[in-house]
Chain A
Amino acid sequence: MPDDAPERESDEPRFTPAKPSGAKRFWRAMTKRPQRNHVAVGVLVAMLGFAAVVQVRGDDEDALANARRDELLQIYDGLTRQGDRLEEEISELRRNRDELISSADSENVALEQAQERLLQTEILAGTAEAEGPGIQLTISDPDRVVRSDIIYGAIQELRSAGAEAIQIEGLGNESAVRVVTSTYFVTLESGRLRVSGVEMVPPYVITAIGDPVNLEEAMHFPQGVVSKVESEGAEATVTQFDELTVDVLHEVSEPEHLRPVPEDE
C-alpha cells in the first residue's frame, strides 16, 4: 500500500492493534475458528493430559511400583537393617524376661524357705500352736509333795526324748503355760508350784508332742520321772495320743537390756 505511506507518520495509533498483548493473542487463538493443521497439536496435548492423569492416579495405587531398581534395593537394604535391629531387640528382651522369671522363681523359693523358718521359730518360741502325736503326763498330787525340780526333771527328760512342743497345765486352777527356753519352775514356801510366774494347782498335765513311744519310755525307765513321783507319794500316769494339740501360747516380751549385735562388724 504505497499510498498509505504518507499517512503513517501522522496517524501513529493505527499500528497499535498490530502489536496486541500476549493475553489478547492467546484469547484470539482460543476463539479462532478451528484450523486443520492444529489437529496434530490437539492430539499431542490430549495425549499429555491423558498420560498425566493416568500417572497421577497410578501413583496413588502403589508407590513402590514406580520405584527404580536401585531405589527398591535401597528400600530393601533399609528394611533388612531395621529387621536385624528389631531381631536383636527381641532377643535382648527375651533375655531380660528369662532373667526376670528366674529371679522371681528364686524369690519365691526364698520366700517359702523364710516362711518355713518362721514357722519353726514360732513353734520354738511358743508363739504358734502345734499339733501332732505325743503323750500326756498327768501328775495327781493332792498333798502337794511334788516339787519343782521333779517337774523340771520331767520336762528335761521329755526334751531329751525328742519332745518338740511342751505345755504344762494346772487343772486345779485352770492355769496353763507353754514351756519355752525361758520357762522356770519354782516351789513357793507354801509348797505351791509356780511356773514362769503362774501359780499352778495340781493335778498337773504335761502335754508333749513327739514320738509317743520314745516319750513314754523316757518317763518309765528306772529312777525316772514316774518312779520319782511315786516315791514322793503322788501318782503319775502317761497316756499316748495319736493327735494332740499344744495350744497355749507364750507371750514374748520386748527385751529390756538386750540388743542384738550388728552383723558383719
Chain B
Amino acid sequence: MNKKHSLGYDFIKGLFKENPVLIQLLGLCSVLAVSNTAINSISMGLAVLFVLFFSSFVIGLIKNIIPSQVRIPSFIVVIATFVTIADLFFKAKFPDISKALGPYVPLIVVNCIILGRQEAFTQKNPLLNSLFDALGMSVGYIIVILALGIVREALGFGTVFGFRIFGSWFHPLIVMILPPGAFLTLGVFVGLMNWISSKRRA
C-alpha cells in the first residue's frame, strides 16, 4: 500500500534522499549544459522551479478529469505552456541570460524531472503534497546545479557570479568550462552523495 507522507517529508526528500540529480540521475543534460557560470545556473534553476511548481499545481488540479489514455499529451501541453511563458519572460526582461541559456530553456519541456514527477507523484497524490514535492525537487535541483556552476565558474574563469575570487596567479582551467569538466565534476558530486548516503545507512 502506498503510504501517504507528511508535507514536510515530501519536501525534504527532494533535497537529499531522493535528490533528482544526484540520486535519481534525472535532468542531467540541462545540469551539464548551462552550469558553466553561477548566474546561468541559478537562472536555469529558477526556471525549473517555476515550471515544475506550476505544472504540478495545474496537473494536480485537473488530474482526476484526464483520461489515462491522454495523460501524457495532457501533461506535456501543460508543461510546455509554462516553459514557453518562462522563455518569453527571459527574452523580454533578461535578454542576456536568455542568450546565455540558449536552447536549454525550451528543453525544460523534456526535462525528465518535470514529466517524471507528474507521472510518479502528482497524478496519484493530493494537491498540497504535490506542491511540496515540486518545491523539494526544485530546491534539490537548484542546490546541485548551483554548486556545479560555482565550482565550474571558479575554476574555469576565476570568478563567482562575476566577482574575481582568485588573484592573478590563477591560471583558469579551460576544461572546466567545457563538457568534460562538467561530467567530471558531476561525477565527483554523485560519488560524494553515494558516500554520504552509505555512511548514513551503516
Q: Do A and B come from one complex?
A: no
B contacts, CB < 8 Å to A: none
Query: Measuring CB to CB, which residues of chain A are less than 8 angstroms from any residue of chain B?
Result: none
